[in-house]
Structure 1
Amino acid sequence: MTDDYPKVDRVMGGPAGWISIAFPAVLFLYFLGLLPQIVNGPQVHGIDWVPSLGVRFSVLLDGLSMTFALLITGIGTAVTLYSARYLGQHPQYPRFVCYLLMFMVGMLGLVLADNLIALFVFWEVTTIASYLLIGFNADSAKSRRSALQALLLTGTGGLVMLGGMIILGNVAGTFELSRILQMGDMIRAHPWYMGILLLFLAGAFTKSAQVPFHFWLPNAMAAPTPVSAYLHSATMVKGGVFLMARMNPALGGTDAWFWILTIFGGITAVFASVMALRQTDIKQTLAYTTLMALGSLTMFIGAGTHYAIVGAMTFLVVHSLYKAALFLMIGIVDHATGTRDATVLRGLWKAMPLTGAAAGLAALSMAGIPPMVGFIGKEFMYKASLGLGGFGAIWVTVMIFAASALMFVTGGIVALKPFRGELADTPTPAHEGPWPMLAGPLVLGALSLFFGLVPGVLGHYLVGPATHAVEGEVHEVHLYLWGGVNMALILSLLTFLAGWLLYRSHESIRARLAAFEARNPIDFDAGWDRVLDGFKAFAAWLTGLIQTGSLQRYMAVTFSSFVVLVGGTYLIKGAFGDGLGLATASVHPVQWTVLALIAAGSILVVWTHSRMTAVAAMGVVGIGVSVIFIMFSAPDVAITQLLVEVLVVVLVSLAMLRLPYLPRRSRASFRAGHAIIAAGVGVVTTFLTLSVLSTPFDRRLTTFFETASYPEAHGRNIVNVILVDFRALDTFGEITVVAMAALGALALLRGTARKKES
């Protein structure tokens, strides 16, 4: 984040800054006070939201939601405190605060929601808020592109996920998660299970940037540093991980769940770790390590064993603490030196000892070195991978070993190399950051050490209850720093050795990766641009095909689509026979005469070459319809229909006097297509009407209006009362539309008259 913007003299961002700090701080204390209650069991609270659709606005307070809520509000407090100093003098800082708090509320609603529809609503709130935050520097083309990319990709995944939610709600008979999570056996045995699973994972994978949807997350680094810290540590990108963890009792435990999550999660973890070595911008390096963490979490949630879930929940907290601290640290370094280039930064410890201390604590946890809590998380993940058995054990162990070794290297690049050695020249002379920016990284780094030394606190209040919620049943959770000499410890030591060897040669590895990337034809980010270009080209082609300026073609396409879609549905469902009984019922000879008159008028419309004759024939059709209304005791509707038909015929006939005759056509060029479309529309509409008439008539509304028209509206004409009283606003809107159309027509006519006079 550069400082090349006009400064506004504010202390800690002014009122907006203090409000932004107080809001998450108060919520954090509130949730912290609820934590002892949640340890004893989950709680559900809610009210009806849309009762007719079975939608409630309800919250589920359990170990998983409380863990996320504490991370969102706790890290949110550190980020807002940091932002008040980092961006407090920006002219658009109040707008930034609105976006950030909107983001925070969206994430809280997402993790606390007990209703699938409410969860989706908050899911999309985070999508929109992230778009606004990533594109905060709207003058930058890169920021605008990155924001749009994140919006389109995660928004599309969310809409796909909505389909899965609706299907799951119908299968379970409820949208309440607290009830759905108890129906796992029934849902997994349902024929629609695989479809539900894939739709849910589409939303989770795009939100949490799993390969091949990973490329939007590094590009989101165009956002200001506080946004990056918040988005990567505790909020949006963890939304997909939360969804997979939340749905594990209902959708997990199958081979499909295991292999999809472990394969995609493992590939994402290793691929991202390799790409992290390729970067020279330490902020981009951290962005790819977030992908590694998300892939690892996905992999272990997919594994689904007790130790896998314990490892995932522990690593969830571990990653949130060190990642927020490191991002905030990078913001301080960038602010104090004017660069984030890993090849330039050296010796910052001498000028920035407190920043270096925060970076060191966070990096030690990231590398999984004892006594940091990151070591405990890595131990449990190794223990889980070794206990899987079969090829799954080999795959998960190899993937987590490779990713952990590369994370060790990345920790050294981000937090060791910039601070050791002689102080290098930087665009801005290095200096220590102010206390509001240092407080967050130091506290988060200290918590990584505290939870490592006292893991029982973390296990009892956060990891244990969260594990119970994800597994759907209660098992004892015991976190420890020292578990004796075992295979997990040996793998940890081998990880340190491999990481150290790779760190010593990371610059040559980076050069080789850069050379490979230059030759590699696969570029997901460029592929995204090509996909968008393809959509634009398709839209242009389709527009040119359909939007021809011909009203005749527009009507033909519209009515043909009606015939194909509605008529095709009737054929597939075999519903044409439903209305045949009514269609063959006795019809009075007079009614047949009127129908013949209407049919003759319709045939004449498509037969004639004269516009005047066609208009007159349409008038005959309208008059026939009016007669039908009279036959069925609807004289007011018949009069309205008759007046409209006469008026239309007269006005259109006057307009036709100034238009040329239709071109003469031979009998071979008879407008057969138009006749076929008209006949198709007539047949489909007829059977649609008959189908409606053949269904039992629900008189609830009829009875209500019959009963209420006179006592409540003092009118005996029910139709008039509905239009004037019960639908007064609707009628007023219609009158407004007609009045605006009349004014527009008057303006056009007066303009035409002036043009003729001139």
Structure 2
Amino acid sequence: MLLAVLSGFLLAVLTPLLHRLSGHALGWVLALLPASLAIYFGSLVPLVSDGGSLVVEYPWLPGLDITLDFLVDGLSLVFALLISVIGTFVLIYAGAYLRGHPYLGRFFVIILAFMASMLGLVLSDNLLTLFVFWELTSITSYLLIGFDHDRADARKSALQGLFVTTAGSLALMAGLILLAMMTGSYSLSDILASSDPLHEHALYAGMVVCILAGALTKSAQVPFHFWLPNAMAAPTPVSAYLHSATMVKAGIYLMARLNPALGEGALWGTLLMGFGAATMIVGAWFAFTSTGIKKVLAYSTVMTLGTLTMLIGVGTELALTAFIGVLVAHSLYKGALFMVAGIVDHATGTKDLRELGGLRRRMPATTAFALLAAMSMAGLPPLFGFIAKELTLEAVLTTPLWSAFLTLAVVLAFMLVVGVAALVSVKPFFGAVTATPRTPHEAPIAMLAGPVALSLAALAFGLAPHLPETAILQAAMGAVAGAPVDSYLALWHGINVPLVLSVVSLVTGVVLYRLWPRIQPDLNAINTAAARYGPEATYFRFMEGISALASWQTRRLQNGVLGHYLLVLVAVTFGLTGLTLVLRHEISLGFNLSGSRFYEWGIAALLVASAVFASRTRSRLGSVASLGVLGFSVALVFILFSAPDLGITQLLVETLTVVLLVLVLFRLPEFVSLSSRFERFRDLTIAILAGVVVTLLMLAGLETRYFESISAYYSENAAPLAQGRNIVNVILVDFRALDTLGEIFVLALAAIGIHSMLKLKAEDQHRP
């Protein structure tokens, strides 16, 4: 199992070498890995088909209680099969779609890492490792969306997707930690097996909000939906994989996985139904009103993600059965349709639906399988999408909460989606032939393999739904419900209300498609006007606000004046430290000076006098001399209190410092007063504040001891263990050898850098 999850990373490392060896066949060669993984995961189907599960444990950081544990049950296995099966066809497709691309090898490195990250996410049984893989999907998707980095829109869209999903990830991290605190375990299998009612816990509401913030941003739910259509700046193979089986399904997986543990609370179901229904309507609307074929498909994915979220929120057995049906049906038809969209763009040079028509004569095979996949998307029999659509309608009709509202929302969304399915399958291939930038031609087998296999799978699952149901889908439904589910997938349930509503949505969708050429400009105008106040506009205003804040603080705080930097640093550091000391710590100001000697008072007075003189004198030479006196006084303190080695070091450093400063500063003019009285008073106040806080810290340190002093250990073991009687030397050379070695290494690097700079300067001076 560990090799199966990490094999994508291992193959990514070898991809540059394989690229040189295999050439144009690289996609076929790399596809052998996900194909092998699909076979491996398929071999586990009998294990989970009767509701069983498998937990595989690998110690990773045992000291931190972090393990690489993997949970295989119906839900995780469905996702693993989708990721590996669709990944196989995506890799084959990408090899042909990006043939000749200068960065083809780099693309496969990233997408293999992306696939491995997604497998780790859905199979992980530990909350911490799940979060690690979660973040890896964000990073790799960022690289994939911005793959064409020479395009400004690709870079902008990649950053937008990363910013939105990572912001949610921060909340998710907090939510997962709260969940572990509530249950006492980071193991998903333990959390799911626990009988404790989490919804009664005081942390339940905060935990749910944090987890959903991560899941909803990842799966592009309203109001975070805008990043996903913009991610279409990525190459089409990325879009096909992103929308069908990976990135955007990560949030859906997490909500489904935690549903048995969190679904008992009303907050969970209410939030999921609300966000899901809103996302479903918004996604369907923008899908129908868009013109780019990839944008249309992207917004239809948003609609489906909303549907999946809503069904988890409904939470009934029928709703969770519909959830698994919609999940699988969408993965099959959306993967096929995105590949078809890439074929159309590749063959014609345009993605605009308004510029496409009559392609069926030159692209008959693409037309046939595009129609087949679109029929599943529209919910037409005998495709599997029809079964999922009927189950969804039946689920919302029988939900105990918000039944009328959810039914209306689902029917409206399905009406629009029927129109969308016609737009992507009928509009480009039928009607009058239109002129395109390139002469249309049929796609090669490598690009057709995915649409053919996925659309035929949708047809096979529709004709024989009991086969996938009994094999694995029923186990997946039970995993989401937290208990066995009595499901029944069938192509025909008789004439009933869901069928009538389905027919209504089909007829209305066809009418909307016929009206689309006339109403689309008006719909686009409405979207343009509304976009000025929508979530994406808010995002851009927020980013502009961050830039404005950064510009302001750069002008005010990072203005290049070293004295200003020191002033702010000292004021903030010692101000916060002093406030904490006053509020959190009781400090005793009683001084016991009975044992002090007269020469110690003399050294203290010398320290104070030299510091005051250095700050008051206008002579550079005088200030250097007074600082030297200050340093020698500190050396005397070291010597008096049994630290002669430190005292000698201090004497040597101070002597060298004074000599160097005199050589440099003696040639400079006298000090000139350039600051105002207010500035000098401000600086004096902050300096006094820093001194007082340091003094209080020393007093607090003398009063507080959480552990026994380690000095006794060094005294007892310096001679027997390190054969040395100078304890300081033994500590530096033996007990803290690596620390000292690191310091020596840093000094050596600095010396090399200085030598290089001096050498370069000398060469510049001798250059003619």
TM-score of the aligned structures, taking structure 2 as reference length: 0.88
Deviates most, 162-171 or 351-360: 162-171
1:641 to 644, 650, 655: 650
1:735 aligns with 2:735: no
Alignment check: 8 A CA contact 2:25 2:95 kept:
no
The one of 235, 239, 261 equivalent to 2:272 is: 261
Deviation at 1:503, TM superposition (A): 2.2
Report the CA distance between 1:621 and its aligned residue.
Answer: 4.8
Find the partner of 1:188 among 199, 217, 229.
199
Is residue 2:503 matched to residue 1:493?
Answer: yes
Residue in structure 2 matching 1:471, options 478, 481, 504: 481
Q: Which amino acid aligns with 1:640?
A: T
Q: How far is 1:327 from its partner?
A: 0.7
* Matching of residue 682 in structure 1 with residue 691 in structure 2: yes
Task: Provide Cα deviations, 1:650-691, integer angstroms capped at 9, x if missing partner.
Answer: 433443323444445999658343333233333434444555
1:516 equivalenced with 2:526 (yes/no): yes
Relative distance call for 1:118 and 1:501 in structure 2 (3 A) is same
Note the C-alpha offset of 1:483. Answer: 2.8
Spell out, residue by residue over 1:442-480, the C-alpha distance to the aligned partner (whole angstroms, 9 max, x if none): 111111112122222332333322222223333333323
Letter in 2 for 1:116: L
Farther off after superposition, 78-87 or 585-594: 585-594
Q: 1:561 aligns with which of 540, 555, 572?
A: 572
Corresponding residue number in structure 2 for 1:115: 126
Segment drifting more, 510-519 vs 726-735: 726-735
1:214 aligns with 2:225: yes
Aligned-partner Cα distance in 1 for 2:69–2:318: 31
Counting only pairs closer than 5 Å after superposition, residues 131-150 of structure 1 correspond to structure 2 as 131-150=142-161
For each residue in 1:373-394, what CA deviation from the matched residue of structure 2 results, as whole angstroms up to 9, or x when unmatched?
112212222222223334x223
Alpha-carbon shift at residue 728 of structure 1 (Å): 4.3
Indicate whether 1:406 and 2:416 are aligned: yes
Residue pairs, 1:342-381, within 5 angstroms: 342-381=353-392
Please say if 1:22 is aligned against 2:29.
no
* More divergent stretch after superposition (664-673 vs 348-357): 664-673
AA at the equivalent of 2:241? Y
Quote the Cα distance in structure 2 between the aligned partners of 1:250 and 1:586. Answer: 64
Which one-letter code corresponds to 1:674 in the other structure?
D
Higher mean Cα deviation, 271-280 or 589-598? Answer: 589-598
Alignment of 1:542 onto 2:542: no
Distance 1:666 1:292, change over 3 A: closer
Q: Which residue of 2 aligns with 1:4?
A: none
Deviation at 1:710, TM superposition (A): 6.3
Name which of structure 1's ranges 381-390 and 361-370 shifts more when overlaid on structure 2. Answer: 381-390
Counterpart contact for 1:206–1:214, Cα < 8 Å: yes
Instruction: Quickly say closer, same or farther: Cα 1:621–1:309, change in 2 above 3 A.
Output: farther
Query: Does residue 1:252 correspond to 2:297, yes or no?
Result: no
The Cα offsets for residues 377-430 of structure 1, whole Å up to 9 and x where unpaired, read as 12222222223334x223322222211111111111111232334544444343
Q: Is the alpha carbon distance of 1:417 and 1:754 closer, same or farther for their aligned partners in structure 2, counting shifts above 3 Å?
A: closer
1: CA distance, partners of 2:696 / 2:481: 52
Equivalent in the alignment of 1:449: 459
- The separation in 2 between residues aligned to 1:675 and 1:501, in whole angstroms, is 79
Matched, 1:176 2:187: yes
Structure 1 residue 604 displacement after superposition: 4.9
2:57 aligned counterpart, secondary structure: strand
Secondary structure of 2:60's aligned partner? strand
* Counterpart selection for 2:113 from 102, 108, 111: 102
Secondary structure at 2:355's aligned position in 1? coil
Which string of whole-angstrom CA distances, capped at 9 and with x for unpartnered residues, describes residues 56-95 of structure 1?
A: 2221222221111111000000111112222233232221
| Aligned position for 2:8 | none
* Counterpart amino acid of residue 23 in structure 1: L
Q: 1:585 to 1:308 in 2, by over 3 A?
A: farther
* Aligned counterpart, 2:10: none
User: Which runs of structure 2 are paired with 1:545-694 in the superposition (5 Å)?
Assistant: 545-571=556-582, 574-577=583-586, 579-580=587-588, 588-590=595-597, 598-599=607-608, 601-604=610-613, 606-619=615-628, 621-630=630-639, 632-663=641-672, 671-692=680-701
- Cα distance in 1 between the residues matched to 2:713 and 2:443: 71
Distance 1:113 1:696, change over 3 A: farther
Q: Residues 738 and 382 (structure 1 numbering): CA distance in 2 closer, same or farther, change over 3 Å?
A: same
Q: In structure 2, how many angstroms separate the alpha carbons of the residues matched to 1:110 and 1:708?
A: 49
Show the counterpart of 1:482: 492
User: What runs of 5+ residues in structure 2 fail to find an aligned partner?
Assistant: 1-18
Deviation (angstroms), 1:702: 6.9
Number of aligned residue pairs: give it. 745
Conserved in 2, the CA contact under 8 Å of 1:607 and 1:670? no
Q: Secondary structure at the match of 2:484?
A: coil
Gaps of 5+ in 1: 1-8
Q: Does 1:533 align with 2:540?
A: no
SS at match of 2:354: coil
**Offset of residue 290 of structure 1:** 0.8
- Aligned match of 1:393: 403
| Amino acid of the structure 2 residue aligned with 1:47 | Y
1:618, 1:229 → 2: CA distance? Answer: 69
Which SS does the other structure have where 1:76 is aligned?
A: helix
CA distance in 2, matches of 1:222, 1:715: 67
Counterpart code for 2:265: T
**Aligned-partner Cα distance in 2 for 1:540–1:393:** 51
Q: Is the 8 A contact 2:333 2:377 kept in 1?
A: yes
The match for 1:205 is 216
Q: 2:7 maps to what in 1?
A: none
Deviation by residue 1:128-148 (Cα, 9 ceiling, x = unmatched): 211222222233222222222
CA distance in 2, matches of 1:422, 1:269: 33
Provide the rounded CA distance (Å) in 1 between the counterparts of 2:720 and 2:482. 56
Equivalent position amino acid for 1:542 in 2: Q
CA contact (8 A) 1:345 1:418 kept: yes
Closer/same/farther in 2, CA of residues 22 and 548 from structure 1, 3 Å limit: same
Q: Give yes or no for contact 1:13–1:89 (8 Å, CA) kept in 2.
A: no
More displaced 10-residue stretch of structure 1: 429-438 or 592-601: 592-601
Displacement, 1:315?
0.9
Identity of aligned residues (%): 45
